[in-house]
């Protein structure tokens, strides 16, 4: 598959709602790399090219990417029958799952995976992560802020998980997936490659959302790394719109103030038993480019996403 699909994950800070704006600034390229892949919304929204690489420092996330790419059927099976055979899943779910139905999305099972289940191998780690990601509020995977957050009306239902995994696996075929520091990725990127960089926000409570903290020094290290590779790579960075970031990247060719609508699904925050429609918010960020708008010649793809 080389078409346009949705990211398989829910991801805090992801660019799902900014896809059209971002793709409108993407130039033609034959090599594409995301050093901070996260949910990979942009990779999944655009056609693949000759070389594609997704990298993230979160090894649990990378393990799920690798499992979906290389062992999708095993992951689907885990979320069905194998789970019952090898775990102490609550008894009332075993009969349904043994007959091939997917695990239901329930607060009880969310708590089981979060607090009790101990995976023994990469497949079980991926299965646990996938279940929690699809049923946690906003896909937050930091354990202390990981709350039950599923609603049938607004979340991908378990009956669709298998199709989602298969479709994602097809898109990931031939893609290099790595778990390295961003400097390693950027310094070793092939000449002329397009790098789409969506680093953690400069001003944010990262410890609430992510497993790996990105320090102020990491932000400075990233800017220096990009600067020394500026002449040989195409760079597209999305960042929070702050004076510090503007100063840090004042050597880049263009900065664009961008704004888009996004939705936080309050239905997903069911700690208080609520089930209300999501609230609309404005995303406000900088698009920072080391090329000019005149160099953007790629036709914007038709964004028709499979459900």
**Torsion angles phi and psi, residue 153, rounded to 5:** -75, -25
> 54-89 pLDDT, tens per residue?
999 999 999 999 999 999 999 998 888 655 554 555
The average confidence (pLDDT) of the chain is 84
User: Would you place residue 225 in the very low, low, confident or very high pLDDT band (cuts 50, 70, 90)?
Assistant: very high
State the average pLDDT over residues 219-232: 98
- Give me 294's structure tokens: 């005149």
Q: Kindly report the pTM of this predicted structure.
A: 0.85
> Tell me, what's the pLDDT at 293?
73
**Is pLDDT above 60 for 94?**
no
**Residue written as token pair 């239905």:** 267
**Which CATH number applies to 67-170: 1.10.1020, 1.20.120, 1.10.287, 1.25.40?**
1.10.1020
123 backbone φψ class: left, alpha, beta (φ>0; ψ -120 to 50): alpha
**Is pLDDT above 50 for 269?**
no
Is the Cβ–Cβ distance between 237 and 226 less than 8 Å? Answer: yes
User: Would you place residue 306 in the very low, low, confident or very high pLDDT band (cuts 50, 70, 90)?
Assistant: very low
CA nearest 2: which of 32, 35, 47, 39? 47
> Tell me, what's the pLDDT at 289?
97
Please give the CATH superfamily to which domain 16-59+173-295 belongs. Vaccinia Virus protein VP39 (3.40.50.150)
Domains of the chain, by residue range, sit at: 16-59+173-295, 67-170
User: Would you place residue 127 in the very low, low, confident or very high pLDDT band (cuts 50, 70, 90)?
Assistant: very high
DSSP output for 246-280: HHHTTTSSEEEEEEEEEEE-GGG--TT----PPEE
State the average pLDDT over residues 149-176: 92
> Tell me, what's the pLDDT at 300?
47
Q: Which is more confident, 15 or 185?
A: 185
d(CA 138, CA 116): 22
Range in 184-193, 220-229, 266-275, 290-299 the model is least confident about: 266-275
**Residue written as token pair 């698009």:** 287
Range from 92-101, 159-168, 210-219 that averages highest in pLDDT: 159-168
Helix ranges (H only) for 71-160 are 72-77, 83-86, 94-98, 107-115, 122-135
**How far apart, in Å, are the Cα atoms of 280 and each of 109, 150, 156, 195, 244?**
29, 18, 19, 30, 27
**Is pLDDT above 60 for 95?**
no
> Tell me, what's the pLDDT at 97?
56
**Residue written as token pair 């699809």:** 134
């Amino acid at each position: 598959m080389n078409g346009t699909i949705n990211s398989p994950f829910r991801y805090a800070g992801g660019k799902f709602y900014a896809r059209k704006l971002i793709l409108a600034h993407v130039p033609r390229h034959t090599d594409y790399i995301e050093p901070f892949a996260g949910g990979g919304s942009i990779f999944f929204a655009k056609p693949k090219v000759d070389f594609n690489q997704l990298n993230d420092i979160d090894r649990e996330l990378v393990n799920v990417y690798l499992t979906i790419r290389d062992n999708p059927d095993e992951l689907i099976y885990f979320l069905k029958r194998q789970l019952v055979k090898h775990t102490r899943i609550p008894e009332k779910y075993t009969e349904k799952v043994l007959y091939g139905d997917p695990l239901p999305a329930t607060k009880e099972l969310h708590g089981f995976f979060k607090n009790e289940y101990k995976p023994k191998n990469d497949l079980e780690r991926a299965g646990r992560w996938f279940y929690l990601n699809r049923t946690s509020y906003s896909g937050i995977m930091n354990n202390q802020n990981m709350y039950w957050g599923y609603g049938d009306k607004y979340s991908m239902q378990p009956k669709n998980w298998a199709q989602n995994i298969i479709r994602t696996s097809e898109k990931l075929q031939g893609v290099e997936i790595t778990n390295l520091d961003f400097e390693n990725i950027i310094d070793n990127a092939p000449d002329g490659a397009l790098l789409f960089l969506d680093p953690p926000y400069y001003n944010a409570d990262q410890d609430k959302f992510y497993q790996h903290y990105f320090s102020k020094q990491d932000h400075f290290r990233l800017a220096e790394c990009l600067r020394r590779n500026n002449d040989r790579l195409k760079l597209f960075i999305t960042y929070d719109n702050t004076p510090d970031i503007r100063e840090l990247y004042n050597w880049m060719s263009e900065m664009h103030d961008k704004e888009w609508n996004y939705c936080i699904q309050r239905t997903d925050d069911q700690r208080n038993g609520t089930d209300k429609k999501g609230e609309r918010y404005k995303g406000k960020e900088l698009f920072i480019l080391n090329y000019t708008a005149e160099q953007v010649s790629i036709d914007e793809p038709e964004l028709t996403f499979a459900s």
